[in-house]
Amino acid sequence: MTGLRPGSKPNVRLDTYSGAPVDFAAFEADPAEVLVAGSSRIRALDTSSRRPAVRWKFTPPQGYKFESNDVDVPLAREGFFVIEARRGDASQQTWINITRIGLLAKQTPEGWILYGTDLSSGRPLRGMRVAVLVGSRLIEAKTDQNGLLQGIAGARFALAQWGRSYAFVSLTAQPPLPGAIVGIRAERGVVRAGETLRVVGFARKREGKAMRPLGGEVHVNAVVGGRTVAAAQLSLGPSGGFSGELAIPRDAPAGGLALLASAGGAVGGTSVHLDAAGDYVLTVTAACKGVCQANAPVTLLVTARSGAVPSPGQVVNVRVVRTPHVIPPGESSETERWGTTGVANVSVRTGPEGTATVTLPAPSDGLSSTYGVVASTQSATATTRIVVPNAPTVLSIVPAAATLDVGQPATFAIRGFDASDGRPAAGRSVRIALAKGPDLREENVRLDEDGRGEATFRTPQLGTNVATATLADDPSAIDATAVTVAPQALGASAVRRSAEVAIKLDKERYRLGERIGVDAVLDGAFGNALVTLEGARIAEAHVVSASGGRAIASLTLGAVAGAVRVGVAFVKDGAIYASDVPVAIDGPGYPRMTALAADRSAYAPGATAHISIRDGGDSSGSLLAIRVSDGSPSGGAAFDDAPALLAAGGTTTLNVASLDPGWHAYVAPAGSKAQDIFATERVRATVANNDSLAVSAPRALLWRVDRVDRASFDVALPTERGRYVVSILKISDDGDVGAASLALSVQ
């Protein structure tokens, strides 16, 4: 394990298949002898002429069976040690670093900082020696009075030393800030050959730290299978926004349709699904029309028509896959998800009215359903996605890693959101359970303002563990996933934010030049805390008192670019706990926090809804795209994630002194006869490609793009009862971009 503080109980993990004794030895070494800068690989150490710091013996349980053993290492002092296990001619090595140095690295496109803190006292390490590898040169430096060291981009590795303690981190190149950005979105997620697809977007150029509207023209191409099937040259208005239409030819083949927009030397893109059309057109809808009941059969209506004329007697193949989840807004629909399986693959024949039905069996697991449907004949296709939530507010639970090694903790990310419009379920309480046979463990998590939370179980059981998330105030809202614990080669773990750190800012949104008041709390923290204002560079870094587990700081919001966040790092239990929160900025060229509010809670069929835009009082002229749809669009039709394009470039945090030290791989010395006895038993991961789950196909019942200078608008609602989603994309003349969605009920 890595990053163990003095006084902790170091151990190594030994996988065995017999009870024969194993000889251990620990050799003190220089990290440079073992570590490979910029790589997770390690070098074997020649121990033939070295004197061990300590020797000991370990006897595994008797019998010929797999055992994963935690072997205590009798070392208590600081230092970097190579641990060698030997049984006859078979030997393997790994390393342990017992250190008081807590090292936190923050990397940006414009440089990096290192923060060194004493894990025993929580105080910054002033004057700590740091060797930084830049290219092929090793540069010596020391931390300042706050334990900070700053550097420019290009470093690959940093090795810190304080007495006999070491800490090290591999630094990776960060992409540079783009000089221009182009974003494009479509009116709907599915278009049929022969139809017209409407698009909207924006172009920005970098001026200093801000993104400003780009003038001139934008060239838009629609490409499928490497072939350009439609193109348009569109003008960029005062806001740098554009809108237009693409006529998709009738002979275009089915598949993913890439929408590529280029302007000012930048190219942006997105994609929608393209369905083919032959002598007739196929459509697939759910008979329940968006109000399907969870855990009930779902009937699909498959229709073949040539214009308004039915096409009877057509043989249609219908393939359906189900994933027992509602896919959270902004997440890739193409990601493989636990429990996804095929539920139907049938052929049906259209009747006299050109219609056939397929009934999907009712699921019995109590979970939500997202069905991906593909209907096809020799000349036409129809693709859609049908979402059946099990509650108005739904949950998503996703493991940080689906496969764990023995001894690794299981960490889950939880999201709660409105099933219709994706609004976060802020402040709701969620019960997380991890079960393996009779073993049941539970945690309670309160979702933050973004509807997110995290739960960690330290020692999951060997085998498959099922995790469930349930809303405390609505037991019908439940989601599930699984993690598998099995012996495997070990590597570095992904860095994650600590959910235990609570960070509050004094305002919901800020203007450039204003002060940001930061109040962060971590129960049990001590010493000092690092508070940063970060984005494409570290704009400010302060080391403040963490007395009583609370840190208070004030930051100045200057002209920072990229994804701007406030980060806080505490010391507790001999580890660094780090987290961060976004900063909403009302200023030129930033993503603008935007929400919608309706004048009523429900409307009569055909009524007019008055919608207010809440974005901090932006009074500049704007290009406003308005859409009303009978579902929540995703992928290339989703507006909500478009403003995030302006936040290109940000800070990557690396915490090598986290609460859960990382297990790392072993190496076999020269001449070792050791073999990986589990190599032939490991299951190779395969990812099934369920394209249909990525295809969200709600209809765009209203599409309007206008120049506006007001903070409200009216929309005429459908005459059919149901639940509809109003989405906007607001592209302002001062360079900022905002987007929001709101579900409306027509009763």
Same domain (yes/no): 632, 729: yes
Same domain (yes/no): 378, 429: no
* Chain mean pLDDT for the chain: 87
Residues 105-121 have a mean pLDDT of 93
Q: Are 281 and 375 in contact (CB under 8 A)?
A: no
- Between 332 and 180, name the one with better pLDDT: 180
Residue 462 has pLDDT above 90, yes or no: no
Classify residue 732 as exposed, middle or buried by CB count within 10 Å of its CB (0-12, 13-18, 19+): buried
Tell me the pLDDT tens digit for each residue of 635-658. 889 999 899 999 888 888 888 877
Contacts with 275 (C-beta within 8 Å, 6 or more apart), sequence order: 190, 191, 192, 193, 254, 282, 380, 381, 382, 383
Tell me the pLDDT tens digit for each residue of 193-232. 999 999 999 999 998 878 899 999 999 999 998 899 999 9
Tell me the pLDDT tens digit for each residue of 127-159. 999 999 888 788 999 999 999 999 877 888 999
Longest Cα pair distance anywhere in the chain, in angstroms?
A: 89
* Structure token pair of residue 297: 């059969």
Residue 728, pLDDT score: 96
Last-in-domain residue among 76, 98, 120: 98
Q: Which residues, listed in sequence order, are joined to residue 733 by a DSSP beta bridge?
A: none
What CATH number does the domain containing 37 carry?
2.60.40
Same domain (yes/no): 287, 423: no
Same domain (yes/no): 629, 731: yes
Same domain (yes/no): 20, 83: yes
Residue 490 has pLDDT above 60, yes or no: no
- Between 563 and 4, name the one with better pLDDT: 563
Residue 7, pLDDT score: 61
How far apart (Å, rounded) are the C-alpha atoms in residues 342 and 231?
Answer: 37
pLDDT band at 673 (very low <50, low <70, confident <90, very high): low
Residues 431-437 have a mean pLDDT of 90
Residue 6 has pLDDT above 70, yes or no: no
Q: Are 503 and 565 in contact (CB under 8 A)?
A: no
How far apart (Å, rounded) are the C-alpha atoms in residues 219 and 538?
Answer: 36
Residue 352 has pLDDT above 90, yes or no: yes
Residue 271 has pLDDT above 60, yes or no: yes
Last-in-domain residue among 67, 98, 129: 98
Q: Are 586 and 618 in contact (CB under 8 A)?
A: yes
- CB atoms closer than 10 angstroms to residue 5: 21
Instruction: With respect to residue 394, please indicate whether it lies within any of the assigned structural domains.
Output: no
pTM above 0.75, yes or no: yes
Instruction: With respect to residue 327, please indicate whether it lies within any of the assigned structural domains.
Output: yes
Same domain (yes/no): 709, 613: yes
Contacts with 56 (C-beta within 8 Å, 6 or more apart), sequence order: 24, 25, 74
Please write down the HEC assignment for all residues of 284-301. Answer: EEECCCCCCCCCCCEEEE
Residue 372 has pLDDT above 80, yes or no: yes
Instruction: With respect to residue 60, please indicate whether it lies within any of the assigned structural domains.
Output: yes
Same domain (yes/no): 341, 449: no
* Tokens 């993690």 sit on residue: 483
Same domain (yes/no): 342, 422: no
Measured CA distances, 669 to 44, 158, 397, 680 (Å): 5, 26, 42, 22
Tell me the pLDDT tens digit for each residue of 13-43. 888 878 889 999 999 999 988 887 666 567 8
Residue 115, pLDDT score: 97
Which backbone phi and psi does 428 adopt, to 5 degrees? -75, 150
Instruction: With respect to residue 614, please indicate whether it lies within any of the assigned structural domains.
Output: yes
Residue 690 has pLDDT above 80, yes or no: no
Instruction: With respect to residue 511, please indicate whether it lies within any of the assigned structural domains.
Output: no
How many residues make up the chain in this entry?
747
Instruction: With respect to residue 144, please indicate whether it lies within any of the assigned structural domains.
Output: no
Measured CA distances, 56 to 20, 23, 63 (Å): 14, 6, 22
Question: Of all residues in the chain, what percent are helix, strand and coil, respectively (each to 5)?
Answer: 5, 55, 45
What CATH number does the domain containing 624 carry?
2.20.130.20
Same domain (yes/no): 289, 363: yes
How far apart (Å, rounded) are the C-alpha atoms in residues 28 and 662?
Answer: 20
Residue 430 has pLDDT above 90, yes or no: yes
How far apart (Å, rounded) are the C-alpha atoms in residues 314 and 533?
Answer: 62
Last-in-domain residue among 482, 503, 522: 482
Tell me the pLDDT tens digit for each residue of 565-594. 999 999 998 889 999 999 999 988 899 999
Residue 561, pLDDT score: 87
Instruction: With respect to residue 50, please indicate whether it lies within any of the assigned structural domains.
Output: yes
Q: Are 646 and 584 in contact (CB under 8 A)?
A: no
pLDDT band at 293 (very low <50, low <70, confident <90, very high): confident
Instruction: With respect to residue 304, please indicate whether it lies within any of the assigned structural domains.
Output: yes
pLDDT band at 552 (very low <50, low <70, confident <90, very high): very high
Classify residue 293 as exposed, middle or buried by CB count within 10 Å of its CB (0-12, 13-18, 19+): exposed
Q: Percent of the chain at pLDDT above 70? A: 91
How far apart (Å, rounded) are the C-alpha atoms in residues 329 and 422?
Answer: 6
Helix segments in 396-458, DSSP class H: none
Per the structure, the count of domains in the chain is: 4
Residue 496 has pLDDT above 80, yes or no: no
Same domain (yes/no): 735, 619: yes
Residue 316 has pLDDT above 90, yes or no: yes
> Domain containing 94: what range?
11-98
pLDDT band at 505 (very low <50, low <70, confident <90, very high): very high
* Structure token pair of residue 620: 């500049």
Residue 660, pLDDT score: 62
Same domain (yes/no): 453, 350: no
Amino acid at 574: G
Q: Are 722 and 292 in contact (CB under 8 A)?
A: no
Residue 341 has pLDDT above 60, yes or no: yes
Same domain (yes/no): 636, 738: yes
Pairing of the two strands 266-275 and 595-598 = unpaired
Measured CA distances, 714 to 237, 599, 603, 612 (Å): 23, 10, 13, 9
Pairing of the two strands 575-582 and 22-28 = unpaired
